[in-house]
Amino acid sequence: MSQIFIIKVTTNKEDRALELISDKVKKHQLQVYALARPHGLRGYVFLEAEDRESSEEAVYNLPYVKGIIGKTVTYDEIKNMIEPVLEEINIEKGDIVEIIGEPFKKEKAKVIRIDKGKGEAVVTLLAAVVQIPVTVKLDNVKVVRREKEETGENQETEENKKDESANQSEELKINKDYNEPSGGLIPDDY
């Protein structure tokens, strides 16, 4: 059964250390099954090998490698660092999105269709004169405005307009009352 070892390497040289270890494993045909450099983990790489001797031989006397941590780890302990986390895709048909990846970076577009299986969305660019469907990856777009929110905003603005017109008619009545002669005790020619 294989074991996973933690290899201490020079910070910011993890990729180079991984290459050197990989070359040595291939050259000497060592019993090393996997090498991993998790994103965000600085100064360490993971090495899966048959036994401790194979892992020590793989990293012995290599530049950037400082040594092997004494304790082995299980896959469950490092699973969250190695496996990508699938985020819930929250883009719907009709949404207005901003494209954050090239070649249409910073362009606004409307979503026509979504294929969550492929991780793609078909959009039309709002600034384009001719509406041509463009397929983009879902991680290259961010939602700017929802269609549902837009319809909700329209209802709210209509209600606000009704309230404003009611307030204006009340103001007119008040102003009208002040402008009419009051017929009070003070004569008009005073």
Are 125 and 77 contained in the same domain? no
| Number of separate domains in the chain | 2
Q: What is the pLDDT of residues 146-182, one digit of tens each?
A: 665 444 444 444 455 445 555 554 555 554 445 555 5
* 49 belongs to a structural domain: yes
Are 73 and 100 contained in the same domain? no
The amino acid present at 21, given as its one-letter code, is I
pLDDT at position 108 is: 85
Residue 65 reports pLDDT greater than 90: yes
CATH number of the domain enclosing 102: 2.30.30.30
- Domain encompassing residue 115: 96-145
pLDDT at position 150 is: 46
Are 77 and 111 contained in the same domain? no
Q: What is the pLDDT of residues 74-129, one digit of tens each?
A: 988 888 777 765 556 677 788 888 887 777 777 888 888 888 777 788 888 887 77
* 44 belongs to a structural domain: yes
Query: CB of 59 within 8 A of CB of 21?
Result: yes
Q: What is the pLDDT of residues 14-53, one digit of tens each?
A: 999 999 999 999 999 999 999 998 877 889 999 999 999 9
